[in-house]
Structure 1
């Protein structure tokens, strides 16, 4: 289940931020992420996975694909 959540979270990130190939390490901000983009990410995660994450989590530390996926997986485990 964790692997499925991770794959879906990654697909959401790639779709919302339209990540070009080879930019997996780019930060949310380098990918032109902003508040409305963060809200779209959170909304898609809730709609597609039924997992609630805090918008603020996206802005913490180094907001990149790996940290986003980790946040979603952790929230999914906590909810289970």
Structure 2
């Protein structure tokens, strides 16, 4: 699917996956992985769902090293998929 990906599609899908896996409470949409009490199983689920739904592989370690929020994770996925981020 990587050939069809756009930044907006990546942001939307990563956001959906993020909210589903981490059960993001209202008002915490900009919270980071650790702010949301993410654990190793959550990171594995994020990575596997992103690969399953977008066809993009990222490293679980990236989540622990960077402690991203949903937007930062979407940018990481876009970078890996070689989708331009800047306007």
TM-score range, shorter chain: 0.7 to 0.9
Runs of 4+ in 1 over 3 A off after TM superposition: none
- 1:13-52 maps to which residues of 2 (within 5 A)? 13-52=18-57
Shift of 1:2: 1.9
- Taking only aligned residues, the RMSD between alpha carbons, in angstroms, comes to 1.4
What is the TM-score normalised by the length of structure 2? 0.80
The equivalent of 2:9 in structure 1 is 4
Tell me by how many angstroms 1:27 deviates. Answer: 1.6
Give 1 or 2 for the bigger CA radius of gyration: 2
Q: Does 1:67 align with 2:72?
A: yes
Q: Which stretches in structure 2 are left out of the alignment for 5+ residues?
A: 1-5
Q: Give the total of aligned pairs.
A: 78
Task: Give 5+ residue unaligned stretches, structure 1.
Answer: none
> What SS does structure 2 have at the residue aligned with 1:77?
coil
Deviation for aligned residue 1:22: 1.5
Cα deviations across residues 21-66 of structure 1 (Å, max 9, x unaligned)? Answer: 2102212112110111100000000000010001111112342122
Which shifted more, 37-46 or 61-70?
61-70
